[in-house]
Structures are given as C-alpha cells and as structure tokens.
Amino acid sequence: GAGVSQSPSNKVTEKGKDVELRCDPISGHTALYWYRQRLGQGLEFLIYFQGNSAPDKSGLPSDRFSAERTGESVSTLTIQRTQQEDSAVYLCASSLRTASNNEQFFGPGTRLTVL
C-alpha cells in the first residue's frame, strides 16, 4: 500500500514569506507526527496529532509555526514569516498507535530552504 507522502519535496522561499507543507499519512493511521531535521543534526519533534484529541504542540519552536489536521487525514504545517534558521528537512510520520503497534512510518520529507 501507499506510504506516507509529503509535498512539496523541495521548497525555496525568501525570508519573511509564509510556507505551507503537506503530509498525507497512511490510511487508517490515527497518529501523525511532524519532525524537523536540521543539517547534520538529529530529528526534533514538533507536533503530534492523535485522532480528535488536542494536539501535543510542545515541540513547536515559536508561534510562527502552526499545524492542522482534520480528523485522521491530511495535515499541514505552516511557517509564517520564515527565517533562515527555519531551513531544514521537515518530516512527517504516521502510526497506528495501538498498544501493540506504535511503529512510526516516515515520509520522504520536505526540504525547506529560506534565502
């Protein structure tokens, strides 16, 4: 079956512009995560959605970052007034999130470059 997909694969933007990144999770996966991977570093957790529960936003680095998810479908991560330090690969993952299976499946990522 189809895996996690993300779009665009690459995004180049100018400092100060807003960007929107999209994630399509695996069908049936109730949990969705966003992570950020800066060059040469590990992944940083950004936000977590589980069904219709309130999201865990504890990893969002500033109020310029926001994310939405409608039900158990597509999620969008929005970065307003982008800064050069926002340049990174943004990864989305989804999971069944059951007691016996919480493996996260990752998408290919969106590489964001802020000039």
Partner 1 sequence: GDSVTQMEGPVTLSEEAFLTINCTYTATGYPSLFWYVQYPGEGLQLLLKATKADDKGSNKGFEATYRKETTSFHLEKGSVQVSDSAVYFCALSRGNTGKLIFGQGTTLQVKP
Chain residues binding partner 1 by CB under 8 A are 3-4, 31, 33, 35, 40-45, 48, 50, 56, 59, 91, 93, 95, 97, 102-109
Q: CA separation (Å) from 95 to 4, 6, 36, 37? A: 10, 15, 17, 19
The closest of 64, 29, 28, 62 to 48, measured between CA atoms, is: 29
- Nearest distance from C-beta of residue 76 to partner 1, angstroms: 19
- Nearest distance from C-beta of residue 54 to partner 1, angstroms: 11
- Nearest distance from C-beta of residue 99 to partner 1, angstroms: 11
